[in-house]
Structure 1
Amino acid sequence: MTEGRLLYFAYGSNMSLARLCARVPGALPLGQRRLSGYTLRFHKRGTDGSAKCDAFFTGSENDAVLGMLYAVHLSGKAVLDEIEGLERGYDEKQVELSCSRGTRCAASTYVATAIDPTLLPFDWYLQHVLAGARDAALPADYVRRAIESVAVVSDPDVQRGALEFAVHRR
């Protein structure tokens, strides 16, 4: 942890700088990081009935989730816990990330506890993840394989979908 801040590893919709800063003002992006031994899955059951991202533990050194490391003010931790759904489908976990130049760093992230592999993400949710992948400058092959290849469904709540898409037009 840096002075008065929590290091937070975002790998799903909160990789998006616009989305995270709209929800947790003052979040500072620190760059792309790698979480080894995990794979990105869209199988966390969201409160809206759609799939959300999960860093799913495999233990295989061949697997990795890529994402963005943020420094979040400690005063924003309760908001972060709320938007991440702490104890409502996600648990907080301390992880060790690969950082630049071969160094490692510790950070907090959230992993799914409510899993339903039959669900698909809403189209707007995948757009948040793709925007975050661009913000984090994730490698194109990872984005194609882990994110763009995921099937989506349209949100039956058209108004919610429009509001979610609007975050990236500001």
Structure 2
Amino acid sequence: MLTEWLRERCPSAKPIGIAIAANHKLTFGKRSIDKSGKATLVPTQGCHTPGVVFRIAEDERHLLDAAEGFKHDKPNDPVRYRRDDDFQIQLVGGDDVTTATTYLANKPEDDLKPYDWYLALLIAGPCNTALIQIT
């Protein structure tokens, strides 16, 4: 995710690195209210997906929940994301596995497509973060 996009929702968002979600594949299987596909990770043996890890203030967590459509009273709603607070990741350049919070589609679908602008945001995030880490 692009830092600027996330900061519109959570002003404290700070990229802390790039991580790998082992044995997970990025798909666009989360159906949005506009019928487009939104990003989710699905378990896929042997597939390793990179992504940006952000730190956000605890008091902004509810803002991210709202932006992602997560509802505490409906954590298993098939048209929503569920929040996984113990999702295992490995930071690039490190050997240790740690956990992060991510949002996963409750009922991923196979036939959805993302909008071009949405896909561009997802691609720009890791690219910009990698450039920041290099300089």
TM over 0.5: yes
Q: Partners of 1:38 and 1:85 in 2: how far apart?
A: 22
Matched with 1:95 is 87
Identify which range, 28-37 or 125-134, moves more after superposition: 125-134
Structure 1 residues 115 and 101 mapped into 2: Cα distance closer, same or farther (>3 Å)? closer
Q: Partners of 1:116 and 1:101 in 2: how far apart?
A: 33
**Of 19, 35, 39, which aligns to 2:21?**
35
Q: Partners of 2:128 and 2:111 in 1: how far apart?
A: 29
Corresponding residue pairs, total: 122
The question of whether the paired residues in 2 share the 8 Å contact of 1:42 and 1:53 is answered with yes
Larger relative helix fraction: 1
- Give how far 1:135 is off: 2.1
Matched with 1:162 is none
Q: Partners of 1:126 and 1:26 in 2: how far apart?
A: 24
Q: Partners of 2:3 and 2:59 in 1: how far apart?
A: 18
Q: Partners of 1:16 and 1:57 in 2: how far apart?
A: 24
Structural mapping, 1:4-153, within 5 Å: 15-58=1-44, 60=45, 62-86=46-70, 87=75, 89-93=80-84, 94-99=86-91, 100-137=93-130
Deviations 1:98-148 (A, max 9, x none): 12321221111111114332221111111111211312339xxxxxxxxxx
Deviations 1:63-103 (A, max 9, x none): 11210111110111101111112145110112111123212
The question of whether the paired residues in 1 share the 8 Å contact of 2:69 and 2:80 is answered with yes
Equivalent AA in structure 2 for residue 97 of structure 1: I
What SS does structure 2 have at the residue aligned with 1:137?
helix
Listed as ranges, the gaps of 5+ residues in structure 2 are none
Q: Partners of 1:47 and 1:136 in 2: how far apart?
A: 29
Q: Partners of 2:52 and 2:105 in 1: how far apart?
A: 18
Q: What TM-score comes out, normalization by structure 2 length?
A: 0.83
Q: Partners of 1:97 and 1:116 in 2: how far apart?
A: 24
Q: Percent identity?
A: 29
C-alpha root-mean-square deviation of aligned residues, in Å?
1.6
Which runs of at least 4 in structure 1 moved beyond 4 Å after TM superposition?
none
